[in-house]
Structure 1
Amino acid sequence: MSKRVLTPRNRGFLFLDSHPAGCERLVADMWQDCPDPAELPEGAGPVALIIGSSAGYGLAATVAGLKRAGVRGIAVSFEKAPTERRTATAGWYRTAATADLARTAGRDLVFLNGDAFSDTMKNEVADLIEQRFGGRLDYLIYSVAAPRRTDPDTGTTHASVLKPIGRANRTKTLVFDDRGVPAVREVETGPAEGDDVEQTVAVMGGADWERWIDHLAGRGLLGEGFATAALSYIGSPLTAAIYRQGTIGAAKAHLEATARTLNERLGTTLGGRAVTSVNGAAVTQSSTAIPGIALYTGLLRGVLGADLVPPVQQLAALWDQLTGTAPLALDDEGRVRLDTWELTDDVQAAVAGRWEAATTDTIAALADLDWFHTEVQRLYGFAVPGVDYTATVATDVPWPVPTP
């Protein structure tokens, strides 16, 4: 067994290694932060499929589903195993920790590692539902962020890009040097060109979500009243040019259009429902790659402090709505809104004022930098309270294997 002392090594917001014990403790902390249910369902619990279960809001959906809704079923992610030179990805270790929690809670959750875009994975999941879970799926949560997708029908590989549409966008952004010293800089992102929009929509839009529904419905595996939610984000006007009005925003609009199509179809055939769930801002591995989002999130935390709602609490609220514990609250576009705490006029005005004033010299007084920097490290299992980072730790943690 490989054991060593791990210290954070990073290039910007990207870390080269992950800490198994820190990732394990992070997942345990998420479990503690998730509210207890009023009561769990009787029997084995509903069967859920969470696609993109190892990071960000997909991880929050998995943990909250286990604790709040008592789900069993299948969780799909795409992570890298440890090697002689590198640790596993953080999502690998988070998955192992989530599997331990599921076993402790007495929930039968099977974790699969592979390409969720592929028909091979869809077949494997369908076989498991049929053979292990009685041939009925009750819920599907879709939370996939990826740089590329290969279309199983055509074999064409599409690549997503983070670009504004129409013209270049210049925005402030937050960076840290190797010593963790913050700076506010301006970056310019050139506009989408050629088929950038279509490529991004092909990866991040609703095509694969709908393909999952088609595949499982074709196998007769969707239960009466089946409900599905794809996780999304709208965000602030401050980041709209690069996000909601950019190529990713076009993909999110396609995702929402897909939800409306699926909702009509599932309602007619199964008395079911499809929605998008618009979540609030959070520090995730995906969000830190978007220009301006790091600065915005740090300023938002500076305004809200502890009132910033963590992902696991947001997803607990989503599970309540999907399971009927709480009424399904939709906006005029048919979306579940878990971001209302972020987008009030007062909060946005306060963040906008700080954004305007933000410079390298002023940022420490305007944003919660300690919190943000810590959150970035926690994505990889570092800076987690209660973990001894001077101790050796085993890095070759196995992928969880389901019990027979």
Structure 2
Amino acid sequence: MSERVVKPVGRGFLFLDSHPAGCERLVRELTAQVEARTPDARPVALVVGSSSGYGLAATVAGLARYGINGVGVSFEKAATVRRTATAGWYRTAATSAYAEELGREFHFVNADAFADTTKAEVLDLVAERFGGVDYLIYSVAAPRRVDPRTDTTYQSAIKAIGQPAQTKSLAYDGGEPVLQEVGIDVATDDEVAETVQVMGGEDWTRWVDALEERKLLNDGFSTVALTYIGSELTGPIYRQGSIGAAKAHLEETARSLSKRDGVLARTSVNGAAVTQASSAIPGIGLYVSLLHKVLGEQMQTPMQQSIALWDQLTGAVEPELDEDGRIRLDRWELAADVQAAVREQWEAVTQENIADVADTVWFYQEVRRLYGFDVDGVDYEQATDVDVEWPTSKA
């Protein structure tokens, strides 16, 4: 055992270490939010991007509410002499333990989801243990992608399209909130194209292709890719920027996949949340802090939305679709009165009043919780074992 006291050391929204006990308890908090059901069917699910954010919530919600079996895929790092494992590593170990307690057969593969070798490994496991897949949930957030056919590395860019943009943004200095003005450069055509290659629907398509080629699509197979639209306040950097081009491609991919026999593909538009991916995007941290100030406990968590997603995927409730066929889990966020209140706060915020106008304490705690810190019930002065094993497949 390698035990040590783990403290939150990092810069901005990025922490260098994660707390194993905090991450484990965080997963337990997620499971407590789910009202379990005992459905007759035990569907098989493949969750690509199962260790963090909405992918983690979808995995836990599926296990707890519908007793799914299947496979989760993520790309995490083990502990080293100098550093702990990544938070997703510890969360996956905790999720696996929870699945075992439920008596579910859910395997976790630690590998690059973009690689063909990963697809082959996962599909071999699916074929051997389950014989097919009912649901594929695609929730990958990555800064770069290596195309397995050409070995070309594509790098995503967080930039504007058409003209430069300016946004207010939230930073922290010693834990204190700092209001910044951030300029957003215009993306080149190549940068937009590369962002689409990383964050668009090509890899999602390749997962469906691989399942189809191996005849692993069960009758009634459906797949959903998780996405975000967001507010007009964040539009220039998000939906109207290079990321938005990738999200549009994801939605077009859903329409294309659904033209195939035996495939129902949709995108699920989730609401705003504090995630490791979203906290890196200028303006999003401030926006989410303002949104929480306006809504408080009425702000829907990723788990609440994931429960709603599974209810709709399984047909327990009628899918809530928009005119473009997208599942909409974000209506609470984009309600006119909510957006008007957030805009009022956005326009009023200054460095002098930011701690009052925005819920900056909550946001900073939520970022720390992503790494297992600030979780109730954990003694952070106690040494903890950082060498947690990756869950191995059990025959």
TM-score, length-scaled by structure 1 = 0.97
Which of 178, 181, 184 lines up with 2:176 in the alignment?
A: 181
Alignment pair present for 1:153 and 2:137: no
Separation in structure 1 between the aligned mates of residue 371 and residue 146 of structure 2, nearest angstrom = 28
Q: Secondary structure at the match of 1:131?
A: helix
Q: Determine the structure 1 residue equivalent to 2:246.
A: 251
Alignment pair present for 1:332 and 2:331: no
Alignment pair present for 1:85 and 2:76: no
Separation in structure 2 between the aligned mates of residue 340 and residue 69 of structure 1, nearest angstrom = 24
Name the count of aligned residue pairs: 395
Separation in structure 1 between the aligned mates of residue 12 and residue 361 of structure 2, nearest angstrom = 16
What are the ranges of 5 or more consecutive residues in structure 1 without an aligned counterpart?
none
Which of 45, 48, 52 lines up with 2:49 in the alignment?
A: 52
What is the CA distance between 1:88 and its match in structure 2?
Answer: 0.2
Q: Determine the structure 1 residue equivalent to 2:116.
A: 119
What is the CA distance between 1:194 and its match in structure 2?
Answer: 4.1
Separation in structure 1 between the aligned mates of residue 364 and residue 320 of structure 2, nearest angstrom = 34
Identity of matched residues, %:
60
Q: Secondary structure at the match of 2:243?
A: helix
Deviations 1:95-139 (A, max 9, x none): 000000000011100000000001001111111111111x11100
Separation in structure 1 between the aligned mates of residue 34 and residue 365 of structure 2, nearest angstrom = 20
Separation in structure 2 between the aligned mates of residue 150 and residue 25 of structure 1, nearest angstrom = 34
Separation in structure 1 between the aligned mates of residue 310 and residue 169 of structure 2, nearest angstrom = 34
What is the CA distance between 1:284 and its match in structure 2?
Answer: 0.2
Deviations 1:375-396 (A, max 9, x none): 0000000000111101110000
Alignment pair present for 1:163 and 2:159: yes
Would you say the 8 A contact 1:183–1:359 is kept in 2? no
Q: Determine the structure 2 residue equivalent to 1:320.
A: 311
Alignment pair present for 1:297 and 2:293: no
Q: Determine the structure 1 residue equivalent to 2:101.
A: 104
What is the CA distance between 1:41 and its match in structure 2?
Answer: 2.9
Deviations 1:192-211 (A, max 9, x none): 02401100000100000001
Q: Determine the structure 2 residue equivalent to 1:26.
A: 26
Separation in structure 1 between the aligned mates of residue 352 and residue 70 of structure 2, nearest angstrom = 50
Separation in structure 1 between the aligned mates of residue 248 and residue 35 of structure 2, nearest angstrom = 31
Considering only aligned residues, what root-mean-square deviation do their CA atoms show, in Å?
0.8
Separation in structure 2 between the aligned mates of residue 392 and residue 159 of structure 1, nearest angstrom = 38
Separation in structure 2 between the aligned mates of residue 86 and residue 154 of structure 1, nearest angstrom = 33
Would you say the 8 A contact 1:35–1:313 is kept in 2? no
Q: Determine the structure 2 residue equivalent to 1:213.
A: 208
Alignment pair present for 1:64 and 2:55: no
* 4+ residue runs over 6 A deviation: none
Q: Determine the structure 1 residue equivalent to 2:136.
A: 140
Which of 362, 378, 388 lines up with 1:397 in the alignment?
A: 388
Write the letter of the residue equivalent to 1:26: L
Deviations 1:284-323 (A, max 9, x none): 0000000000000000000000000000110111011111
TM-score, length-scaled by structure 2 = 0.99
Would you say the 8 A contact 2:141–2:199 is kept in 1? yes
Q: Determine the structure 1 residue equivalent to 2:40.
A: 41
What is the CA distance between 1:68 and its match in structure 2?
Answer: 1.3
Would you say the 8 A contact 2:51–2:91 is kept in 1? yes
Separation in structure 2 between the aligned mates of residue 105 and residue 169 of structure 1, nearest angstrom = 49
Write the letter of the residue equivalent to 1:318: L
Deviations 1:22-62 (A, max 9, x none): 0000000001012333x3334xx111000000000000111
What are the ranges of 5 or more consecutive residues in structure 2 without an aligned counterpart?
none
Separation in structure 2 between the aligned mates of residue 364 and residue 395 of structure 1, nearest angstrom = 35
Separation in structure 2 between the aligned mates of residue 392 and residue 196 of structure 1, nearest angstrom = 45
Alignment pair present for 1:17 and 2:17: yes
Write the letter of the residue equivalent to 1:164: A
Write the letter of the residue equivalent to 2:153: T
Separation in structure 2 between the aligned mates of residue 33 and residue 10 of structure 1, nearest angstrom = 30
Alignment pair present for 1:128 and 2:125: yes
Write the letter of the residue equivalent to 1:238: L
What is the CA distance between 1:371 and its match in structure 2?
Answer: 1.2
Q: Determine the structure 1 residue equivalent to 2:332.
A: 341
Which of 351, 357, 377 lines up with 1:386 in the alignment?
A: 377
